[in-house]
Amino acid sequence: MRLMLVEDQALLREGLIGLFRDAGHDVVWSADSCADLDRVFLEQLPDVVVLDVRLPPAFTDEGARAAARLKSLRPGIGVLLLSQHIETVHSVGLVGLGGFGYLLKDRVLDVPDFLSSLARVADGGSALDPQVVAALLHRAGGGTGVSGLSEREHLVLASMAQGLTNAGIAKRLWLSERTVEAHIRRVLVKLGIAETEDHNRRVLAVLLHLGVPLTPENR
C-alpha cells in the first residue's frame, strides 16, 4: 500500500512512518502541513492519505478540508483522519463517500486494529471512532428507533455502523455476500430509505440505528 502522511507532531509522524513501514507499506511522502499536499498527491497518486485534522497554520480544520479536497480530486482515494479533537463540519459529507476513516489518535495504540482500519479505508470501506460517530450524530440531532428490524437485520446494521463492507459483514456473521445484500435491502426498505447507488443510504441507515431521525436536512 502506498501512503502519504501529514502530521505536525514530529514524534508521532516518525512513529507512524515506522509503523506503516514495519507493516510492509510504502510511505511515499510525509510532511507537517498541507502546503504541498495537492501537488504531491497528484504526482504520487497514493492508495491512502493519513492526515491530522488540526494542522498549520491555523490549527483548526486544515486536515479535514484537505481530505474533502482530495476526495473531490480523486473520489476513489482512501483518506484517514487522525485527531485529538473532533471536527464535524467537513466530515459529515465525507462519511458517505466510502474510503474514509476518522479515528482519535489514541486508537493508534491498538496497532492491529489501527492497521485493520487503514486497510478497510484503502479498500473503500469506512472506519469511524465511536466518539466521532457520537459527534456526527449530535450534529444531526434527534432520536428514533428501529424496532421493526429482525435480530439478524439489527446485527447487519450494527456491522454497517462499524464501517464493515458487505464482504466484512458476511465474514463476521457467517453469511454469503448475496444474503448480506438482501438483508441490507430489507433494512433500507423497513427504515423507509430509498434504494439507490448513493453510499449515503447506508449512512442514513446507520444514523437511524444510532438514534437519529431522518429530516429533510439529512436525507
According to DSSP, the residues that pair with 30 across neighbouring strands are: 5
The pLDDT score that the predictor gives to residue 218 is: 41
pLDDT per residue as tens digits for the range 84-127? 877 766 666 676 667 888 899 988 999 998 999 999 899 988 78
| Amino acid at position 98, single letter | G
| Amino acid at position 219, single letter | R
Q: In sequence order, what are the residues at sequence separation of 6 or more whose Cβ sits closer than 8 angstroms to the Cβ of residue 42?
A: 73
Q: Rounded to whole angstroms, what are the CA distances from 217 to 87, 90, 135, 138, 214?
A: 19, 15, 17, 14, 8
- Do the bridges between strand 48-52 and strand 78-83 make them parallel or antiparallel, or are there none, so unpaired? parallel
Task: Note the pTM of the prediction, 2 decimals.
Answer: 0.69
CA–CA separation, 105 and 37 (whole Å): 21
Q: Contact 206/187 with Cβ under 8 angstroms?
A: no
The pLDDT score that the predictor gives to residue 10 is: 95
The pLDDT score that the predictor gives to residue 214 is: 44
The pLDDT score that the predictor gives to residue 188 is: 75
CA 15-72-26 angle, to 5 degrees, is 30
Q: Contact 136/95 with Cβ under 8 angstroms?
A: yes
Lookup: cell for 59: 490549527
The pLDDT score that the predictor gives to residue 165 is: 79
- Do the bridges between strand 26-31 and strand 100-104 make them parallel or antiparallel, or are there none, so unpaired? unpaired
Can you give the pLDDT of all 219 residues of the chain as single tens digits? 999 999 999 999 999 999 999 999 999 999 999 999 999 999 999 999 999 999 999 898 899 999 999 999 999 999 999 988 777 666 666 766 678 888 999 889 999 989 999 998 999 887 877 677 656 655 544 334 456 778 888 788 777 766 677 888 899 899 999 999 999 888 877 776 655 555 455 655 665 555 544 444 444
Going along the chain from its start, the domains and CATH numbers come out as 2-139 (3.40.50.2300), 143-209 (1.10.10.10)
